[in-house]
Amino acid sequence: MSVLAPLAERMRPTTLDEYRGQDHLLKEGASLRRALDSGLIPSMIFWGPPGVGKTTLAHLIAKHLDRPFHTLSAISSGVKDVREVINKVENGGIFQQSGTLLFIDEIHRFSKTQQDSLLGAVEKGVVTLIGATTENPSFEVISALLSRCQIYTLKEHSKESLSEILDKAIAKDKTLKTKNIQLKETNALLAISGGDARKLLNVFEIIIGTVKSDPIIITNDLVRLTAQQSIMSYDKDGEQHYDIISAFIKSIRGSDPNAAVYWLARMVEGGEDPKFIARRLLISASEDIGLANPNALLMANNCFQAVQVVGWPEARLILSQCTIYLANSPKGNASYIAINRAQQLVKETGDLGIPLPLRNAPTKLIKELGYGEGYKYSHDFPGNFAQQEFLPEEIKGTNFISPGSSSKEQEIATRTTKLWGKKYTK
């Protein structure tokens, strides 16, 4: 490979044994490793942040299985390009019978029509699809295509794997191994990478290229000084993407509308996907406000629907309105705490028996077994309420809900006490 290629490209692994990271998928006995070892892989979608090796892994799988490999980019390819590849495979006859792999990078950027054009070929096995996306496929990939694919989640690189990649680059790269490089401090370099191996290597190459001393001693101060512009910029595919959305949500949670609008503006100016911002507002409306102001979820949901219809640049107005409303709303996390507690108890206690009065009794035989017997139909009682047990016997009386100080949550707590007395006070 040419030395003019970026360091990240020069260090791209050429075999699965050289590939670093994603042990949860590739170690012995892991799901993807078992499929590869069997030689029978499903169509799949790799979902994960940038720089974790989605594209590299797709190429290595094709090489490992000795399969024909075609690649398309969702940024530059359309329906015509998809059909051309499929027709080429179909017309390949016996030469294509070993199972052609079709890799589509950034598949979340494909429109519904473009994704629809893949369905027939994937369903019939003409091609085995490997899609790569940084966005949640549940939102960005049509359900018909999603149901035909196995989703594999790729994780950001750990500190250990990044350090290993860096050490290997210094020792093996034709250009770097001619230089006297000493890694005195690496925390700043690893932090800037944000778990992105490609960014790590690209920033490292810039630093090496700007330092004229011999030896080249890598320190945190040197890294910060050289990569300052990288740190200050908003990279919607890098660590700033996650840091700024974190600042945005925490500002809403902290009831600071001015700070929230500032971080929103940073994302708007950085070209962030408006649907991504709207989804985060939906989550915040439930996680951080919830029962304290049920209208917040309605506002956030309407915001999400509206930005899909309007798009940039006017969507910024809708996002701003929702952001300010949520930041100014009373806060409460009772529903968030409640589901966490309930899930934890389920994990601890397993599948407890459902009380017979609550069970469905669709047939005479089932009724004779006692299903549904003793159930009190609430609407037959004064106030549409009847005292009865709805939890399994082993955990009856367990309280999951801890209301906050907001008036709405206190109102819910008061009603619960009025109906159930001291049953759920522990």
- What contacts 234, CB < 8 A, 6 or more positions away? 240, 241, 244, 266, 267, 269, 270, 272
Domain end among 111, 132, 153: 153
Q: Is residue 7 part of a domain?
A: no
The residue out of 182, 215, 232 marking a domain boundary is: 232
CATH of the domain at 243: 1.20.272.10
Question: Is the pLDDT score of 163 beyond 60?
Answer: yes
The CATH number assigned to the domain holding 85 equals 3.40.50.300
Instruction: Tell me: pLDDT of 46 over 90.
Output: yes
For residue 402, the domain's CATH number is: 1.10.3710
Note whether 359 and 316 are same-domain residues.
no
Give the other-Cβ count within 10 Å of 272's Cβ. 20
Q: Are residues 110 and 51 in the same domain?
A: yes
Which residues span the domain enclosing 399? 348-420
Asked if 39 and 138 sit in the same domain, the reply is yes
H or E stretch at 164 = helix 159-172
Mean per-residue pLDDT, 232-253:
70
CA distance 385 to 379: 7
157-162: long-range contacts (C-beta < 8 A, 24 or more apart)? 157/20, 157/21, 157/51, 157/52, 157/193, 157/195, 157/196, 157/197, 157/200, 158/21, 158/195, 159/190, 161/20, 161/21, 161/197, 162/190, 162/193, 162/195, 162/197, 162/200
Residue 339: inside a domain, yes or no? no
Question: Domain total for the chain?
Answer: 4
How much is the average pLDDT of 112-134?
A: 87
Tell me, yes or no, whether 9 lies in a domain. Answer: no
Residue 25 and residue 109 in one domain: yes
pTM for the predicted model, two decimal places: 0.55
Residue 127 scores a pLDDT above 80: yes
149 in the same domain as 58: yes
Given strand 150-153, what is the order of strands in its sheet?
A: 69-73, 100-105, 127-133, 44-47, 150-153
Which residues, at least 6 apart from 56, have a Cβ–Cβ distance to it below 8 Å? 12, 13, 19
- Closest residue by Cα to residue 100 from 115, 84, 89: 89
Q: Is residue 2 part of a domain?
A: no
pLDDT (0 to 100) of residue 98: 56
Q: Could you tell me if 301 and 321 lie in one domain? A: yes
Tell whether 334 is covered by a domain. Answer: no
Residues 31, 103 within the same domain:
yes
pLDDT digits (tens, 9 = 90+) for 308-354: 888 778 888 999 999 999 998 989 888 888 888 888 888 888 778 88
Q: For residue range 253-273, what is the model confidence (pLDDT) as tens digits?
A: 988 888 889 889 888 877 788
Asked which of 130, 153, 176 is the last residue of a domain, the reply is 153
121 pLDDT above the threshold of 90: no
> Does any domain span residue 208?
yes
